[in-house]
């Protein structure tokens, strides 16, 4: 049968349009229960009498019908393997899909798990459960009524099926249907209609066999808290926010919390170069890092300057209220900042509303409570930009030394911290596997195993190259091709060759793994690679973008094996001028896979005269010419402290740490990869003017260079930043004979002034915006690492289509679709970079566990209450606090003494007696790991040299040096010592 759904809609011109839709109703939709004697069941019963859950509220067998709000708010409860025999109405499923795609995806996974007995009932097309919308009835009220109607029908339908003498003689209790809803109005109407109903919280608390499931309930508010006084200003309603944005009274942007100062943040707003500064707890007004917020700009007279203070919140407890000490701390900071010089002030505002929350699940640890047997606890996130979260849990003792996951539910005005609930435990604190899991989760790195569907698109083994394959490709197996990579590399993307031509010129080839041959557009393998975006490298662990069969086997250009490649081949003269170039797919057989060190040894050993040695020497000589040419064009040589760990193969813990060494062969490979990327970029941009995937590096705004210019000026150097060439020349001149590491530190500062390089689509920008600032390249892309970057796979497909080696397809030429992919790639690359750094920091902490070392370093920044110190040997930064906190928060537990440090605003120095600290000054510090705070283990930096009585730590006799002795010869940087 069918029914008609009629509604009217007003057009843009003001006309009234009547719309009539046919809606088909059926009487053959099964209820899915094994108790039913009437329905035609078109599949195996999903609602069975084998899974009774004992509830003190409903002491009889029952099925559950979920309201939409229960699914949206209590998805963590539903994911636990506790609730069975759940009826999922299509009304609810559609509402969840409309309101939250992430929860809909998680809910679908539960539904498709046959062991959970979740049955989707198509109530919208069942003749007895369809609810037509009544006049003046809202869509939400109609959906609530449809849910109640379905629940009542189910209960009645099942009772009818159980109303037989056979069932009575079985002695079984009648199974009923219970509606779970957290909507008070819906619940009241359900009770009035005789439906069994309960809230999700009441039902979970009634489960006799699962008392700990209560911990996973979403906590919108805590009991007995409603009387607390407001601690934050109220948020504007969405209507008020939209009105304010329309009249330009408010601004909208993404909120970024500060890692260094919990009372400070920034909102990125279009048209404001540095964003809008937010300072003070009330101005931050319950915004969490990542939220889209509405900001009210303060009058210019109230603008402030970014803080130079490193400020962390002291320990607080679950029932804590704002203390006078914390309020004084906040007032003191704000007074200092409002007294900042006018020229340093920046647009400042206050957050007045939340446009969209970007809450996610957070990793961290429970803070030990001072109160015994309490269920209220404070959760301290691993990410310092996230506020502490109040949760209720009955397993605090068990979770005390575990890394756990918590999600935020709400942040009421009368609570200092947001409310949340426990989701799951990740494992023991300090365990390498657990800590790696935290890094991956916190940086949103997809790392689950590849699904069976994805793996089904891999080539069947054993895989061989066929005669047809040889016919379609250029056979380069006889060339002396070799690869040069870091030690232990198994995903070898690239290989090189160079040979002399009969005409006296040289032929240079870059051969890249042909991953796009194995990953075809649009299949599950392709979609998974696109979603992951990049391979993520942690210390001793790699999270592949593509399955290992491809990354370490069929695509990897290992020595002695025939492999498919995409080749870029140039004819060049001996001055590295390109005379001709060609692109083609090929079959290669690498003669040798070498490390940078092995390749360098072959180049340096004059006794080596084989073809590979000749090839490497030619490549190395040409690379030096190419590099000089790039430098002359204004390419920047930047620096960042990088280290590598030697990892125990069994425990995966770091055994030794050393700074990464750069050899000529590193630069050799880099130069030819750059040349290949530029050559391919030029070609695909010419062939596909609207949809080529390119990479740009924007020129930083002049204000980004302020810290670099100031730091260099204090040392007597002038850094000119008008063009990349002038900046490069300025950096070259920053040399101090008495400080060999000075130039490297200046380049580290320059690196921090840079913008992020990003992928984009050629048709979305003007050609002059294609420029890559760091490389001084007019156009650039990524072509040379398709095993570990999805962008390179896209570029391979474009290049293949342009030379007729592969066919094109609709999505490849769809600008909008490719822009969305580029946005995801930019995000994934940034997160992968942050995850790598976090892994290095973790392993550095593990390395120093139980150790105490005096190391040479340099002051990288001088702050109002601290020195940021860089330790070149380990490539790490830390904070050396210059004044102790009243509660010893800096971990040194020093009491106040007569040692006073004075900060000079003009030249950014700290003075104590006759000792003055400038940026780039050499120091010796004692490094040790402070594990007293289980929330965050941290490296503690204590001053050794120069010696300041009452502040510096005593050293052993052999280390004592006069104040004017030769300073240490290594670097200095900033890492926020973890107080």
Q: Which pLDDT tens digit goes with each residue over 159-170? A: 888 777 766 777
Q: What is the pLDDT of residue 513?
A: 92
Residue 350: inside a domain: no
Highest mean pLDDT range out of 37-46, 478-487, 564-573, 951-960? 564-573
The per-residue b/e assignment along 133-162, b for 16 or more CB within 10 angstroms, e otherwise, is: beeeeeeeeebbbbbbbbbbbbbebbeebb
Tokens 């390419």 belong to 635
Both tokens of 641, joined, read 């402290």
- Range scoring the smallest mean pLDDT among 21-30, 310-319, 351-360, 793-802: 310-319
Q: Are residues 386 and 422 in the same domain?
A: yes
Q: Are residues 779 and 925 in the same domain?
A: no
Helix, coil or strand: residue 415: coil
Q: How confident is the model at residue 431 (pLDDT cuts 50, 70, 90)?
A: confident
Residue 336: inside a domain: no
Provide the number of structural domains found in the chain: 5
Residue 330 has pLDDT above 70, yes or no: no
Q: Are residues 659 and 711 in the same domain?
A: no
pLDDT > 90: what percent of the chain? Answer: 22
Q: How confident is the model at residue 961 (pLDDT cuts 50, 70, 90)?
A: very low
728 vs 973 pLDDT, higher one: 728
Q: What is the pLDDT of residue 957?
A: 42
Q: What is the pLDDT of residue 979?
A: 36
**The last residue of a domain, from among 736, 754, 772:** 754
Residue 326 has pLDDT above 60, yes or no: no
Alpha-carbon gap, residue 38 to 869, rounded angstroms: 77
Both tokens of 921, joined, read 């000054």
Residue range 439-455: average pLDDT? Answer: 88
Alpha-carbon gap, residue 603 to 618, rounded angstroms: 10
151 vs 865 pLDDT, higher one: 151
Give 280: exposed, middle or buried? Use CB within 10 Å, 0-12, 13-18, 19+. middle
Residue 606 to residues 90, 508, 603, 614, 621, Cα–Cα distance (Å):
76, 22, 7, 10, 15
Q: What is the pLDDT of residue 80?
A: 87
Q: Are residues 774 and 875 in the same domain?
A: no
Q: How confident is the model at residue 724 (pLDDT cuts 50, 70, 90)?
A: confident
Q: Are residues 577 and 494 in the same domain?
A: yes
| CB distance 276 to 942 below 8 Å | no
Q: Which pLDDT tens digit goes with each residue over 505-541? A: 999 999 999 999 999 998 999 999 999 999 998 888 8
* Alpha-carbon 522 to chain mean position: 25
Q: Are residues 742 and 779 in the same domain?
A: no
Q: Are residues 770 and 741 in the same domain?
A: no
Residue 647 has pLDDT above 60, yes or no: no
Q: Are residues 780 and 825 in the same domain?
A: yes
Q: How confident is the model at residue 874 (pLDDT cuts 50, 70, 90)?
A: confident
Residue range 646-669: average pLDDT? Answer: 64
The CATH number of the domain where 416 resides is what?
A: 2.40.50.700
Residue 20: inside a domain: no
Q: Which pLDDT tens digit goes with each residue over 97-135? A: 888 888 888 888 888 888 888 989 988 888 888 888 888
Residue 830: inside a domain: yes
Q: How confident is the model at residue 644 (pLDDT cuts 50, 70, 90)?
A: low
Q: How confident is the model at residue 890 (pLDDT cuts 50, 70, 90)?
A: very low
Q: Are residues 602 and 726 in the same domain?
A: no
Alpha-carbon gap, residue 533 to 556, rounded angstroms: 18
Q: Which pLDDT tens digit goes with each residue over 194-218? A: 999 999 989 998 988 888 888 888 8
Residue 543: inside a domain: yes
Give the range of the structural domain holding residue 422, as residue numbers without chain letter: 361-429
Q: How confident is the model at residue 674 (pLDDT cuts 50, 70, 90)?
A: very high
| CB distance 402 to 425 below 8 Å | yes
Give 1: exposed, middle or buried? Use CB within 10 Å, 0-12, 13-18, 19+. exposed
Q: What is the pLDDT of residue 327?
A: 61
Give strand pairing partners of 420: 408
Alpha-carbon gap, residue 973 to 868, rounded angstroms: 6
| CB distance 894 to 884 below 8 Å | yes
Residue range 706-716: average pLDDT? Answer: 81
Q: Are residues 671 and 717 in the same domain?
A: no
Residue 682 has pLDDT above 80, yes or no: yes
Q: What is the pLDDT of residue 52?
A: 74
Residue 488: inside a domain: yes
Q: Are residues 746 and 767 in the same domain?
A: no
Q: How confident is the model at residue 427 (pLDDT cuts 50, 70, 90)?
A: confident
Quote the mean pLDDT of the chain.
82
368 vs 572 pLDDT, higher one: 572
**The last residue of a domain, from among 210, 239, 271:** 210
The CATH number of the domain where 923 resides is what?
A: 2.40.50.140
Residue 313 has pLDDT above 50, yes or no: yes
Residue 776: inside a domain: yes
**The last residue of a domain, from among 210, 244, 275:** 210
Q: What is the pLDDT of residue 645?
A: 59
Four-CA torsion 420, 424, 428, 429, nearest 10 degrees: -30
pLDDT > 70: what percent of the chain? Answer: 86
Q: Are residues 747 and 769 in the same domain?
A: no
Residue 12: inside a domain: no
**DSSP characters for 817-831?**
HHHHHHHHHHHHHHH
Residue range 392-419: average pLDDT? Answer: 86
Within 8 A by CB and 6+ apart from 222, the residues are 376, 390, 392, 415, 419
Residue range 904-924: average pLDDT? Answer: 79
Q: What is the side-by-side order of every strand in the sheet holding 482-485?
A: 474-475, 578-589, 562-572, 506-513, 494-500, 482-485, 592-595
* Alpha-carbon 30 to chain mean position: 44
Q: How confident is the model at residue 782 (pLDDT cuts 50, 70, 90)?
A: very high
């Amino acid at each position: 049968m069918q029914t008609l759904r009629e509604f009217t809609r007003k057009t843009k011109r003001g006309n009234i349009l009547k719309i009539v839709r046919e809606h088909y109703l059926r009487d053959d939709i099964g209820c899915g229960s094994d108790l039913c004697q009437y329905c035609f069941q078109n599949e195996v019963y999903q609602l069975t009498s084998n899974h009774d859950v004992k509830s003190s509220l409903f002491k009889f067998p029952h099925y559950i019908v979920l309201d939409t709000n229960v699914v949206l708010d209590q998805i963590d409860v539903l994911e636990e393997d506790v609730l069975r025999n759940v009826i999922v109405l299509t009304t609810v499923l559609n509402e969840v899909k409309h309101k939250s795609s992430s929860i809909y995806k998680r809910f679908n996974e539960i539904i498709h798990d046959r062991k959970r007995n979740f049955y989707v009932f198509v109530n919208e097309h069942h003749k007895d459960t369809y609810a037509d919308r009544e006049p003046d009835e809202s869509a939400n009220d109609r959906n609530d009524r449809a849910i109640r109607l379905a629940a009542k029908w189910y209960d009645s339908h099942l009772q009818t099926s159980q109303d037989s003498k056979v069932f009575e003689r079985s002695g079984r209790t009648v199974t009923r249907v219970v509606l779970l809803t957290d909507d008070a109005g819906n619940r009241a109407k359900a009770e009035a209609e005789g439906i069994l109903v309960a809230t999700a919280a009441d039902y979970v608390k009634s489960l006799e066999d699962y008392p700990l499931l209560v911990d996973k309930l979403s906590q919108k508010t805590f009991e007995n808290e409603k009387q607390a006084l407001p601690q934050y200003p109220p948020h504007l309603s969405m209507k008020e926010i939209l009105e304010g944005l329309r009249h330009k009274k408010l601004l909208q942007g993404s909120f970024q919390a500060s890692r260094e100062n919990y009372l400070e943040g920034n909102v990125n707003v279009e048209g404001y170069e540095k964003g809008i500064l937010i300072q003070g707890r009330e101005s931050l007004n319950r915004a969490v890092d990542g939220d889209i917020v509405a900001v009210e700009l303060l009058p210019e007279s109230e603008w402030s300057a970014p803080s130079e203070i490193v400020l962390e919140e002291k320990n607080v407890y679950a029932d804590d209220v704002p203390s006078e000490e914390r309020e004084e701390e906040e007032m003191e900071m704000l007074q200092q900042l409002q007294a900042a010089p006018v020229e340093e002030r920046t647009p400042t505002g206050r957050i007045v509303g939340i446009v969209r929350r970007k809450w996610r699940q957070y990793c961290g640890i429970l803070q030990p409570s001072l109160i015994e047997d309490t269920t209220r606890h404070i959760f301290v996130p691993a990410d310092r930009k996230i506020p502490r979260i109040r949760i209720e849990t009955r397993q605090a003792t068990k979770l005390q030394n575990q890394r756990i996951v918590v999600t935020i539910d709400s942040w009421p005005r009368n609570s200092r911290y947001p409310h949340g609930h426990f989701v799951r435990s990740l494992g023991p604190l300090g365990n390498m596997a657990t800590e790696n899991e935290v890094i991956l989760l916190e940086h949103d790195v997809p790392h689950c195993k590849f699904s069976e569907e994805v793996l089904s698109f891999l080539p069947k083994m054993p895989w061989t190259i066929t005669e047809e394959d040889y016919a379609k490709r250029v056979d380069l197996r006889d060339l002396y091709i070799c690869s040069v990579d870091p030690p232990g590399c198994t995903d070898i993307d690239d290989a090189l060759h160079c040979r002399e031509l009969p005409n006296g010129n040289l032929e240079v080839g870059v051969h890249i793994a042909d991953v796009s041959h194995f990953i075809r557009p649009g299949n599950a393998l392709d979609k998974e690679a696109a979603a992951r975006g990049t391979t993520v490298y942690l210390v001793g662990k790699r999270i592949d973008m593509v399955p290992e069969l491809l990354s370490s086997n069929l695509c990897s250009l290992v020595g002695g094996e025939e492999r498919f490649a995409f080749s870029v081949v140039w004819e060049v003269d001996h001055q590295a001028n390109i005379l001709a170039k060609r692109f083609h797919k090929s079959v290669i057989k690498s003669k040798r896979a070498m490390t940078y060190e092995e390749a360098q040894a072959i180049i340096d050993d004059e006794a080596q005269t084989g073809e590979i040695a000749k090839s490497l020497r030619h490549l190395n000589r040409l690379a030096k010419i190419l590099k000089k040419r790039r430098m002359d064009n204004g390419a920047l040589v930047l620096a960042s402290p990088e280290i590598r760990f030697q990892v125990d193969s069994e425990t995966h813990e770091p055994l030794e740490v050393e700074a990464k060494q750069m050899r000529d062969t590193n630069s050799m490979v880099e130069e030819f990869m750059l040349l290949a990327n530029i050559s391919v970029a030029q070609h695909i941009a010419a062939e596909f003017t609207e949809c080529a995937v390119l990479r740009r590096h924007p020129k930083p705004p002049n204000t980004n260079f302020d810290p670099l210019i100031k730091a260099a000026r204090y040392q007597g150097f002038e850094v000119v930043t008008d063009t990349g060439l002038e900046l490069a020349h300025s950096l070259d001149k920053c040399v101090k004979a008495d400080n060999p590491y000075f130039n490297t530190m200046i380049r580290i500062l320059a690196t921090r002034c840079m913008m992020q390089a990003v992928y984009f689509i050629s048709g979305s920008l003007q050609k002059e915006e294609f420029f890559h600032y760091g490389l001084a390249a007019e156009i650039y892309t990524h072509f040379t690492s398709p095993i570990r970057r999805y962008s390179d796979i896209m570029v391979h497909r474009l290049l293949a289509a342009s030379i007729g080696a592969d066919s094109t397809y609709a999505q490849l030429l769809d600008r909008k679709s490719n822009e969305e992919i580029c946005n995801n790639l930019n995000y994934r690359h940034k997160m992968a970079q942050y995850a790598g750094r976090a892994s290095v920091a973790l392993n550095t902490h593990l390395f120093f566990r139980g150790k105490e070392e005096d190391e040479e370093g340099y002051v990288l920044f001088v702050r109002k209450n601290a020195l940021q110190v860089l330790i070149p040997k380990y490539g790490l930064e830390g904070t050396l606090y210059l004044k102790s906190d009243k509660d010893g928060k800096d971990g040194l537990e020093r009491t106040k003494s007569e040692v006073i440090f004075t900060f000079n605003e003009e030249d950014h120095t700290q003075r104590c007696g006759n000792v003055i600290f400038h940026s780039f000054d050499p120091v010796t510090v004692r490094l040790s790991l402070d594990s007293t705070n289980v929330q965050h283990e941290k490296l503690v930096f204590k001053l050794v040299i120069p010696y300041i009585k009452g502040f510096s730590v005593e050293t052993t006799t052999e280390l004592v040096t006069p104040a004017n002795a030769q300073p240490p010869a290594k670097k200095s940087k900033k890492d926020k010592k973890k107080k």
